Amino acid sequence: MTKISPIATANRACTLLYSYISQYSKGTYLLPVNVCPDVPLTFCLANVSFEFVDIDEKTLCINKSACLNKIRKNIDKYQGIVFVRTYGFLDNASDFFDTLHSESPDLRIIDDRCLCIPDINADMQGADMLLYSTGHCKQIDLGKGGLAVFRNVGSYKIEKNVLYDGTDEVAIYKEAFSSNKPFDRIPSGWLCLDYLDISLDTYLSQIENYSIERNLCRDKLNEIYKTHLPESIQLPNEYQNWRFNISVDFSLKDVILKKIFESNLFASSHYNSANRLFNYDIYSNSERLHSRVINLFNDKYYSEDKALRTCEIINNIINEYSF
């Protein structure tokens, strides 16, 4: 079934991404190397080529100058770019997107806002597609669902032509990261292409209702982290939406995470550089980010008491190892 609309939904964001890049697949896409691994794996499933680009040391998003240099040197090579909002940071990218379109009018700009709260009325800033997710571990965690907003009204069609066999791609790429070895074989069979099983109105209503509780929990727990942790390790406020993020010395990161887990508490490390699934290239800014940043939970599943205990562990370790 083909639909005509500026808004599309699907069972997950990767389905929307797959369907979009399959329509615009004549060239290479630029991806930030700190992207969620599911993104390059979706490109692999769609047989669409991509190149990784390091992130900017200051914005933590894809390096704009590097992208423009690549496009200007070989303008016919590139079909598009995926601009990922690292940690949900909604910087104004209008000037960058306008420059990209002026250099290459047919370039497709996918604004990956999967770590942001979905907003169908958001300023598109010149992007061709806004991509949101309401899947597991996102700000709005409905356990399923993806939402796309397009700059131009057009048609989209979900082709159910990819074999789905229940392969757990997350387990596979986590094992690859753990072993520090690229894939022997790129996983397939993991993406089930399908429409969302509820109406758009119902979906938007669920997002709106969830957002109220989400914002309250985030603000409450973020305030605890902000108050009880050293300001020197906190990322700027604009990066504290999806999780509360801290940057510690690389020698302390694993020590802190280990102690948190041993205390039956939780935190996470940001994705390793996605290129490590495919090669051994080094992207210094992304590697530095991964080696230092810890994501502290700020959702409804994490209590104020847990947040306070997490802060205590972090502070104790920092004080113990300080010189």
| Ordered DSSP codes for 260-305 | HHHTT--EEEPPPPGGGGT-----HHHHHHHHHEEEEP-STTS-HH
Distance CA 43, CA 45 (A): 5
In this prediction, residues 197-224 reach a mean pLDDT of 98
Count helices and strands in the chain by DSSP H and E runs: 9, 10
Residue-range domains of the chain with CATH: 2-199 (3.40.640.10), 205-321 (3.90.1150.10)
Buried b (16+ CB within 10 A) or exposed e, 48-70: bebebbbbbeeebbbbbeebeeb
> What single-letter amino acid sits at 251?
S
Range of weakest confidence among 117-121, 215-219, 263-267, 268-272:
268-272
**Residue with structure tokens 């399908």?**
194
Three-class secondary structure of residue 109 per DSSP? strand
pLDDT over threshold 50, residue 193: yes
pLDDT at 162: 78
pLDDT over threshold 90, residue 167: yes
Distance CA 171, CA 69 (A): 36
**Which residue stretches of 10-51 are H helix?**
13-23, 38-46
pLDDT over threshold 80, residue 169: yes
pLDDT at 1: 46
Residue 264: count other Cβ atoms within 10 Å of its Cβ.
8
For residue 32, the cross-strand partners are: 53
| 154: confidence class by pLDDT, cuts 50, 70, 90 | low
Distance CA 83, CA 30 (A): 9
DSSP classification of residue 54: P
Q: Which residues contact 235 (CB under 8 A, 6 or more apart)?
A: 87, 245, 246, 247, 293
pLDDT at 284: 98
Contact 225, 217 (CB under 8 A): no
Tokens standing for 86? 């690292």
Tokens standing for 202? 């119902």
pLDDT over threshold 90, residue 161: no
Q: What is the pLDDT of residues 55-96, one digit of tens each?
A: 999 999 999 999 999 999 999 999 999 999 999 999 999 999
pLDDT over threshold 90, residue 158: no
pLDDT at 270: 79
Three-class secondary structure of residue 35 per DSSP? coil
Q: What is the pLDDT of residues 249-262, one digit of tens each?
A: 999 999 999 999 99
Q: Which residues contact 102 (CB under 8 A, 6 or more apart)?
A: none
pLDDT over threshold 90, residue 4: no
pLDDT at 152: 85
What percentage of the chain reaches a pLDDT higher than 70?
97
